[in-house]
């Protein structure tokens, strides 16, 4: 059930929509609903947080995906054509890495271990 004030949707630049969809399908198994030739919707989980550390802040929102096996997911991202921009590192909540997708969006993948 949708509630007032809850984050409901994350929209990112798509660039080449065909290669962007292929990347997310191959790396993470996402499926899409096309709304015309230049828009593809996905339906995946969503939580969030704010980072007040000036040394690690990005200038744009960061979408963070979950993985049980971080190393295996990093390999899938690379095999699908993603570019690792921050290799796996530890932080107080677990470990993660950052990558750029074919459209230039930076995302992260984390695990709790």
Residue 2, pLDDT > 70, answer: no
7 domain residue, yes or no: no
Q: Which of 9-18, 65-74, 102-111 has the lowest mean pLDDT?
A: 9-18
Please tell me the predicted confidence (pLDDT) of residue 51.
66
Residue 47, in any domain of the structure: yes
Range of the domain at 52: 17-111
pLDDT tens digits, one per residue of 45-55: 776 666 666 77
The set of residues, in sequence order, having a beta carbon less than 8 Å from that of 69 and lying 6+ positions away, is 111
For position 62, what pLDDT does the model report? Answer: 83
CATH of residue 86? 3.10.180.10
Is the residue at 4 inside a domain?
no
Domain count, the chain: 1
Q: How confident is the model at residue 73 (pLDDT cuts 50, 70, 90)?
A: very high
The residue count of the chain comes to: 113
In this predicted structure, the answer to whether residue 75 has a pLDDT above a threshold of 90 is yes
**Distance between CA atoms of residues 100 and 84, nearest Å:** 7
* pTM reported for the whole predicted model: 0.77
């Amino acid at each position: 059930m949708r509630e007032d004030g809850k984050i409901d949707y994350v929209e990112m630049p798509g660039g080449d929509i065909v290669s962007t969809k292929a990347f997310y399908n191959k790396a993470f198994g996402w499926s899409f609903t096309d709304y015309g030739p230049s828009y593809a919707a996905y339906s995946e989980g969503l939580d969030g947080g704010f980072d007040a550390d000036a040394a690690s802040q990005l200038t744009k929102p960061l979408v963070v995906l979950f993985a049980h096996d971080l190393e295996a997911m990093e390999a899938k991202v690379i095999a699908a054509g993603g570019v690792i921009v921050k290799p796996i590192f530890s932080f107080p909540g677990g470990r993660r890495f950052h990558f750029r997708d074919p459209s230039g969006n930076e995302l992260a993948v984390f695990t709790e271990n």
